[in-house]
């Protein structure tokens, strides 16, 4: 059964930012243009993930100029893309939340496609990048990971690596209620969605700056995606261990038979083969211990309950707690009126201070 259609009352665009000072002015301009063309209200939530350039200053200036539509969330250091997205989701007040990257490879003009999918009744609408402008190596690695994730999770999403997605309010609430530190937002959102839609979106070439994901970073990201969303690697390792044990038993039986047939002299000639097999079994065990250690390490970090990020400052809106119930997300007044309310509160505080 499909969820009921959602009329667009308020949309939030959440964008994680890390050293994107060259792209931010155009990004803000294009997002505001798209938002003003929507039938309902909107806000643009920009999360500075500990940038070392002027990104934080640009975000703060935009939030001060457009306090009704731009919200700046400034983290105290770099925590990673998905932690920054979580910080943005925690501040977003919309009924529909759209995430996208700040490098303009996810064109903001594609946002209405995602919103239309939510309005038709989808819980999550995933963008599928067409005519990708990334390197050949990155495209091939992405295809391999997408195929692997579809097989392991059973969720037939075509592009797990695309951050241009739209979520219903209740899906975002469920994401924020999760306490694990190593999260992959698209996969986590899919795990709560009853109805996942897909739309093709354009993929533009990066105009300025460099990608923050190098080969090693991508490998770490894909590993986080696998480990944080499924225990299939452990099951595969258990199957490999079982097959190795059976192979060991079969080899032992074979050696006994050969010794009986060819005599004890043959055993000395086969020692190097035995050593090779022993080293192979040892390698399987070490891989298993390492993989098991990864899972245990993540469990340890989650049990410690440390915060995933620290918000240094919120510009354009009051800071909101990370864990909230669904109704707490919905603003009592339209987003465009928040600046007036904040200004009125400040005037009231000044009046109280003057009367003391």
What pLDDT is recorded for position 335?
A: 47
* 156 and 257, same domain (yes or no): no
pTM listed for this prediction: 0.71
Mean pLDDT is lowest, of 12-26, 60-74, 204-218, for: 204-218
Is residue 3 in a domain?
no
Residue 110 lies in a domain: yes
- Do 45 and 18 share a structural domain? yes
| Structure confidence at residue 217 (pLDDT) | 63
User: Is 129 inside a domain boundary?
Assistant: yes
Residue 135 covered by a domain: yes
Is the pLDDT assigned to residue 340 strictly greater than 70? no
Pairing outcome for strands 41-48 and 165-168: unpaired
Band of residue 342 on the pLDDT scale cut at 50, 70, 90 = very low
- Does residue 192 fall inside a structural domain? yes
Residues 49 and 183 in one domain: yes
Model confidence at 336: pLDDT above 60: no
Mean pLDDT for the stretch of residues 320-324: 47
Q: Is the pLDDT of residue 271 over 70?
A: no
Asked whether residue 101 falls in the same domain as residue 198, the answer is: yes
pLDDT band at 341 (very low <50, low <70, confident <90, very high): very low
Same domain, 134 and 150: yes
* Mean pLDDT of all residues in 111-129: 92
CATH code, domain carrying 139 = 3.90.550.10
Same domain (yes/no): 242, 262: yes
Given a contact cutoff of 8 angstroms between Cβ atoms, the answer to whether 302 and 142 are in contact is: no
Neighbours of 272 (CB within 10 A): 9
The pLDDT, as a whole number, for residue 333 is 43
Number of domains the chain contains: 2
- Assess whether pLDDT exceeds 60 at residue 66: yes
**56 or 155: which leads in pLDDT:** 56
Q: Which of 122-131, 176-185, 291-300 has the highest mean pLDDT?
A: 122-131
Residue 53 CB contacts under 8 Å (≥ 6 apart), including other chains: 19, 21
Least confident of 158-167, 205-214, 236-245, 309-318: 205-214
Confidence at residue 355, expressed as pLDDT on a 0 to 100 scale: 40
Calculate the CA 99 to chain-centre distance: 9
The whole domain housing 139 covers 10-230+308-336
What kind and span of H or E run contains 83?
Answer: helix 81-91
- Domain end position, chosen among 260, 284, 304: 304
My answer on whether 161 and 275 are in the same domain is: no
Please give the pLDDT value at position 285. Answer: 77
In a domain, 344, yes or no: no
Considering the domain architecture, whether residues 78 and 30 belong to the same structural domain is answered as yes
Buried b (16+ CB within 10 A) or exposed e, 183-221: bbbbbbbbbbbeebbbbebbbbeeeebeebeeeeebeeb
Residue 115 lies in a domain: yes
Tell me, yes or no, whether 83 and 196 share the same domain.
yes
- In angstroms, the CA 31 to CA 223 distance is 32
Q: Is the pLDDT of residue 266 over 80?
A: no
Q: Are residues 89 and 213 in the same domain?
A: yes
pLDDT averaged over the chain?
A: 77
Q: Which pLDDT score is estimated for 190? A: 85
Same-domain check for residues 199 and 282: no
Is 210 part of any domain? Answer: yes
Which range among 118-127, 226-235, 264-273, 323-332 shows the weakest confidence by mean pLDDT?
323-332
Same domain, 185 and 282: no
């Amino acid at each position: 059964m499909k969820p009921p259609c959602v009329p667009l009352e308020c949309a939030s665009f959440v964008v994680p930012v890390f050293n994107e000072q060259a792209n931010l002015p155009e990004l803000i301009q294009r997002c505001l243009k798209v938002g003003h063309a929507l039938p309902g209200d909107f806000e643009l939530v920009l999360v500075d993930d500990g940038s070392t350039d002027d990104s934080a200053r640009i975000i703060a200036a935009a939030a001060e100029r457009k306090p009704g539509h731009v919200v700046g969330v400034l983290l105290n250091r770099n925590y990673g893309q998905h932690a920054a997205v979580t910080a943005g989701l925690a501040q977003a007040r919309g009924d529909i939340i759209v995430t996208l990257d700040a490098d303009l490879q996810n064109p903001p003009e594609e946002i209405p496609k995602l919103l239309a999918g939510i309005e038709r009744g989808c819980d999550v609408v995933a963008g599928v990048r067409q005519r990708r402008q990334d390197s050949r190596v990155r495209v091939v690695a992405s295809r391999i990971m997408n195929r692997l994730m579809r097989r392991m999770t059973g969720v037939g999403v075509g592009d797990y690596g695309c951050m241009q997605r739209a979520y219903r309010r209740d899906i975002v609430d469920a994401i924020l209620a999760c306490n694990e530190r190593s999260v992959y937002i698209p996969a986590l959102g899919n795990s709560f969605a009853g109805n996942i839609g897909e739309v093709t979106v354009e993929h533009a070439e990066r105009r300025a700056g460099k990608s923050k994901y190098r080969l090693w970073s991508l490998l770490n990201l894909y590993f986080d995606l696998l480990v944080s969303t499924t225990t299939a690697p452990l099951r595969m390792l258990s199957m490999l261990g079982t097959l190795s044990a059976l192979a060991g038993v079969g080899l032992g039986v074979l050696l006994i038979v050969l010794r009986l047939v060819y005599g004890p002299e043959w055993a000395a000639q086969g020692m190097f083969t035995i050593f090779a097999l022993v080293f192979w079994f040892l390698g399987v065990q070490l891989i298993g211990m390492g993989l098991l250690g990864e899972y245990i390490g993540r469990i340890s970090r989650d049990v410690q309950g440390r915060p995933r990020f620290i918000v240094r400052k919120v510009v354009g809106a009051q800071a909101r707690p990370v864990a909230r119930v669904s109704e707490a997300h919905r603003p009592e007044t339209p987003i465009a009126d928040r600046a007036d309310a904040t200004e009125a509160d400040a005037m009231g505080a000044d009046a109280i201070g003057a009367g003391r």
